[in-house]
A and B are shown apart, each in its own frame.
Chain A
Amino acid sequence: MNLSVEIAGLKLKNPVMNASGTFGLSEYADFLDLNLLGAVVAKSVTLNPREGNPPPRIVETTCGAINSVGIQNEGAEDFVKNKAPAMKKFDTVFIASIAGLTVDEYAKVTDILERAENIHAYEVNVSCPNIEAGGKAFGMYERSTYEVVRAVRDRTKKPVIVKLSPNVTDIVAVAKAAVEGGADALTVANTYLAMAVDIETGRPILGNVLGGFSGPAIKPITLRMVYQVVNAVDIPVIASGGISCGRDALEYLLVGAKAVQVGLMNFSRPDIMLCIIDEIKTFMERKGIKDINDYIGSLKI
C-alpha cells in the first residue's frame, strides 16, 4: 500500500502533517514519533520577537475554538539557531512558516531562514495584519497576497507553500494571485475571523476582542474552499480546517487535497495524527486502494 505523496518535489511519507502553531516538537515527542508524520510544520516566525496578544487567548465555542495568540514568537534568528536544529534528527519533511507585518519583513525573514540547514520548504502565512494598509490581513486581497508571495519567491529556491486566508470574497481569485506570485503549493486555509462575548460581564472574552476560529465546526466551509481551489489551479493543495478523524482527512483527499494538516484537535488528543494515518490505511484496505494518489481527487460529480 502506498501512502506517500509528492508536493512541489517534496516526498511525504504520508499525507498527514500538523498545522502551524498547534504543535511543538519537544512537547509532542512524548506522544508520537515525528518520523511517522508526512511532514512537520513549525510555528510562524516574524523578524523580531513578538510578545503576542493580551490574554485570554483562546475560547471554546461549539465544536471549535477561537484563538488570538498574535504570533508570539522569538524571532527568525532564534528559530534558525535554537528551534530548527531539533528537527535534524528526524527523517521527516520540515516546513518553516513565515510571517510578517510588512512585505519587506516577509523578505527579511526568508533571508534569515535560508541560513538554516534543514528546512525543506516554506509555508507563507499571509493571514498577518498588514500594518501598512490599516491592519487588514495580506491574504484578504489579491494584490497584497501576490506581493508577499513574490517577495518570498524571489529569495529562495525551496518550495513555497502559500497558506491562504479564508476571510475573502473570492478564494479562487486570491489563490490565483498566489500562483502568479510564484507559489509551488497552497494551504487552504487559515482560521476564520470571529469573536466571542460574555453576557455576564458584558465584555468580549478574548483579550484581543477578535480571533481566529478553527476546529470541527469549520470543516464544511474549508472543504468547499479546497474543492473550489483544487478545480481552479494546477499546483497541489494542502487542506487545513477542522480535521478530527481519518474520515475528515479522507473527505479532503477525495475533493483533491494532496495532504492534510491537523490543528486544534492536537490539543485534546496529542497522538491524533497517528490515529488519522491508521484510519486512512484501514480505509484503503477496506476499499482495495493500493495507492493513495489514486484516491486523491477521485470525487465523482
Chain B
Amino acid sequence: MKISESKVIYNKKIGPGYHVLGFEAGWLEETEPGQFVMISTNRLEMPLRRPFTVYRLNEKKAEILYRVVGKGTMLFSQLEEGDMINVMGPLGKGFPVFEDKTVVLLSRGVGIASLGLLGERLKKTGCRVFTVASFSDRTRSLVDDYIKSFSDELITTFDEDGSSDVENIRFILDKIKPDVVYTCGSRRLIRLLQKLPYEAYVSLEERMGCGLGACLTCAVRTINGYKRACKDGPCFNVKEVIV
C-alpha cells in the first residue's frame, strides 16, 4: 500500500452523473477484488479523501466507476487527461475468491463498481458467473463490455418495470441456486441475502477518516461488535453485518 501521484488517462462520462476515471497505477497491480483506493481532493475545503473501489485493472492503469453525488465527486468529474491525482491504496479487506463455483454478482446502481474486478477474477478461477444488476431505469444501466466479458449470464432488472423488486430477485436467485453471492449497493439486498441459505458477501460503504484503520470513524455494526469498514472490511459476510 502506498500513496502516489497518478496521471489521469481518461475520465469518461458513461451515463447521467456516472463516470469512469482511468489513471496510471502500476503500483495497484496487486489489488484484490473488493479493495479500494482513497483519492485526495487536494483542497483544504474538502480535507477528507474519497473512497472508491477499484473497478478494473488493465495493463498499468486502474479504473474507478463513480457517481457524482456531492462536492468531491463533482470535482473529480471535471478531471481531464494529463491531470494529476493523489491516490492512496490498495486498502481494506476484499472479497474471498473461490474456484469452480456458481456465483452471482448482485448489484444495485453504482454498486456494480465494487464487483468488476471480482467478476474478472472469478471467471479466471473457473467460476460460472451470473451477473444480476439492478438499476432505477434503462438510462442508468451501467452494464458495459467489461461486465459482459466475464458474465456467463447477465440479467438486468429495473425499478421502472418492477423487475428489480426484491421478490423477483429472490426468484432469480432461487433459480440459479448459487454457491456464493456477492453484493453491493443496497441494504434491501443485504437483508434479502440474510434470509436466504446462500453463502454471501457484501461490500459496505461507510464514511471514513483515515482509511488506514487508525481513527475508528468508519465503524460498521456486526454481530461481533463494531468493525472498521476500512480495515476489517469493506467486504464482510452478510451473516455478520447488522443493517
A-to-B contact residues, CB < 8 Å: 21-24, 27-28, 30-31, 51-60, 62-65, 67, 69, 72, 215-216, 244, 264-271
Contacts and interface: CB of A to CB of B under 8 A. Distances in A.
Interface stretch (B23-31, B100-108, B144-152, B206-214): B206-214
Contacts of B46: 60
A30 B2 contact: yes
A59 B72 CA distance: 13
Interface in B214-238: 214-221, 225-226
Given A21-B216, A267-B215, 13 more contacts: A24-B215, A27-B214, A30-B2, A31-B3, A51-B225, A52-B219, A56-B206, A56-B207, A60-B46, A60-B47, A67-B209, A69-B217, A271-B3
Contact of A58 (B2, B214, B217, B225): B217
A269 B86 CA distance: 10
Interface of B: 1-3, 40, 44-49, 88, 206-221, 225-226
Given A22-B215, A58-B209, A267-B210, A52 B47 contact: no
Of listed B208, B212, B213, B221, residue having the most chain A CB within 10 A: B212
Give me the 5 closest cross-chain CB pairs, A-B, nearest first.
A24-B214, A58-B217, A27-B214, A27-B212, A57-B217
Contacts of A269: 40
A277 to B, nearest CB: 18
A265 B216 CA distance: 15
B219 to A, nearest CB: 5
Contacts, number: 97
B207 A57 contact: yes
Given A55-B219, A55-B220, A268-B40, A27 B47 contact: no
Nearest to B43: A63
A30 B220 CA distance: 25
Of listed A58, A265, A266, residue having the most chain B CB within 10 A: A58
A39 to B, nearest CB: 17
A30 B1 contact: yes
B210 A62 contact: no
A61 B53 CA distance: 23
Nearest to B210: A267
A28 B212 CA distance: 8
A37 to B, nearest CB: 15
B138 to A, nearest CB: 25
A264 B218 CA distance: 14
Contacts of A55: 206-207, 218-221, 226
A67 B219 CA distance: 12
B90 to A, nearest CB: 13
Given A56-B206, A58-B207, A266-B210, A65 B216 contact: no
Contacts of B225: 51
A67 B2 CA distance: 25
B48 A267 contact: yes
A72 B214 contact: no
A216 B214 contact: no
Contacts of B207: 55-59
B213 A267 contact: no
B2 A267 contact: no
A268 B210 CA distance: 7
19 contacts: A22-B210, A24-B212, A24-B213, A27-B213, A28-B212, A52-B216, A54-B221, A55-B219, A57-B216, A57-B218, A58-B48, A60-B47, A60-B48, A63-B44, A65-B209, A69-B216, A216-B47, A264-B209, A266-B210
Given A24-B214, A57-B207, A72-B219, A64 B1 contact: no
A269 B41 CA distance: 11
Contact of A69 (B40, B215, B221): B215
